[in-house]
Structure 1
Amino acid sequence: MDVFIRKKIRQVLKGDQNAFGEIVEIYKDKVYQLCYRMLGNRHEAEDVAQEAFLRAYLNIRRYDENRKFSTWLYRITTNLCIDRIRKKKPDYHLDADIEGSENLTLYSQIASSSHLPEQEVEHMELQESIQHAILKISEKYRAVIILKYMEELSVEEIAGILDMPVGTVKTRLHRGREALRKHLRKL
């Protein structure tokens, strides 16, 4: 994968915009998920994800080919999310999701052989509680928790993305877990 990405980056540097489109296709879901988990809002996540790719494109000459592209891209994304959290003002959208209806579609009414509706609701409520708890902890802990447990990155990768020592990442993971426990106990 890294060889493919490096090839595409070289094409972008030569002026091939389509090559960057292929890079976006590969990373768009991961970047959006990271944004959504950091921000907790679909609209903001879409905006920040787009901005992350724009920044990556505009700064592609600064990318060091000796490092993983995903680490560089996640660093841009995480920093943009943290900036957005710090500047955050109440944001209301007319087409915002109604709480509790995240996974409902017309197909939700079709009988299924999967989990019982009660189990699905419990699972959705648990996921929602965890997401709300994550949004309540400080952004410095939120970033490491999301990168470790939701993006399943190693401590070393997180240190690279956030540009901090491994020891600091471990400390923030520990403190972030403690903060999450406190918020989840209240529920």
Structure 2
Amino acid sequence: MENKQKIFDHLFTEYRDWIFRLCYSYTRSETQAEDLVQECFSKVWINLSSFEHRSDYSTWIYRIAANTCLMRLRKEKNNPIEYHDNLKDNSSEEKYEDKEEQSNVLYGAIAQLNEIDRIIISMVLEDVPQKQIGEVLGITENNVNIKVYRIKKQLKELLSKNNGYGKGF
């Protein structure tokens, strides 16, 4: 039990922030993201003893987080995430100067993607290697490459609707 606690503490410290950002990209709510983080790590704790080391801990935890987010989204499918464009009508030079505002616009566009695409692009934004993304989702690395290309194209289109912001993506 003591060894399990040490491993869990290490995994929590190592991956908590990443899992939070992944969950936040789905919920756009700190409270809901924190709930999902707790749910993910509850599953990690419960299943830690049965971890078979067929993959890295990181791949295993990402898979748990992705599945937890997907399950939550499916449960809440009747209450879809609403995207509200809160951008002020400033001159084009002043728009998107603030990094936080850029981030909010990007997350707003990501929220409009389908569930799997949100998971993929969230991992890409976290610099997770595409091979590992494929392992987490159970698809080939080549399939991940194709999906990332299509997701970026879709995001560019969504962002371009927000006054040309998608040009640099």
Contact 2:96/2:102 (8 A) holds in 1: no
Q: Aligned partners of 2:69 and 2:80: how far apart in 1?
A: 15
How much has 1:171 moved relative to structure 2? 2.0
**Correspondence for 1:181 among 150, 153, 156:** 156
Q: Which stretch shows the higher mean deviation, 76-85 or 163-172? A: 163-172
The alpha-carbon distance between structure 1 residues 177 and 45, as it changes in their structure 2 partners (threshold 3 A), is same
Tell me the equivalent position of 1:167.
142
Tell me the equivalent position of 2:8.
20
Q: Aligned partners of 2:115 and 2:18: how far apart in 1?
A: 19
How many residues end up aligned between the 2 structures? Answer: 150
How much has 1:157 moved relative to structure 2? 0.7
CA deviations 1:65-98 (Å, max 9, x no partner) are 242101100110011111212222369xxxxxxx
The sequence identity of aligned pairs, in percent, is 27
Contact 2:36/2:69 (8 A) holds in 1: yes
* Residue 126 in structure 1 maps to residue 102 in structure 2: yes
* Residue 31 in structure 1 maps to residue 16 in structure 2: no
How much has 1:22 moved relative to structure 2? 3.5
Contact 1:38/1:146 (8 A) holds in 2: no
How much has 1:19 moved relative to structure 2? 4.4
Tell me the equivalent position of 2:117.
141
Tell me the equivalent position of 1:106.
none
Larger radius of gyration, structure 1 or 2? 1
Q: Aligned partners of 2:95 and 2:118: how far apart in 1?
A: 28
In structure 2, list runs of 5 or more residues that go unmatched: 88-93, 163-169
CA deviations 1:32-51 (Å, max 9, x no partner) are 11211233221111011111
How much has 1:56 moved relative to structure 2? 0.9
TM-score using structure 1 length: 0.71
How much has 1:152 moved relative to structure 2? 0.1
User: Matched residue of 2:127: which SS?
Assistant: coil
* Residue 157 in structure 1 maps to residue 157 in structure 2: no
**Correspondence for 2:3 among 11, 22, 32:** 11
Tell me the equivalent position of 1:76.
64
Contact 1:85/1:139 (8 A) holds in 2: yes
After TM superposition, which residue ranges in structure 1, 4 or more long, deviate above 3 angstroms?
118-121
TM-score using structure 2 length: 0.78
Q: Which stretch shows the higher mean deviation, 21-30 or 167-176? A: 21-30
Taking only aligned residues, the RMSD between alpha carbons, in angstroms, comes to: 2.5
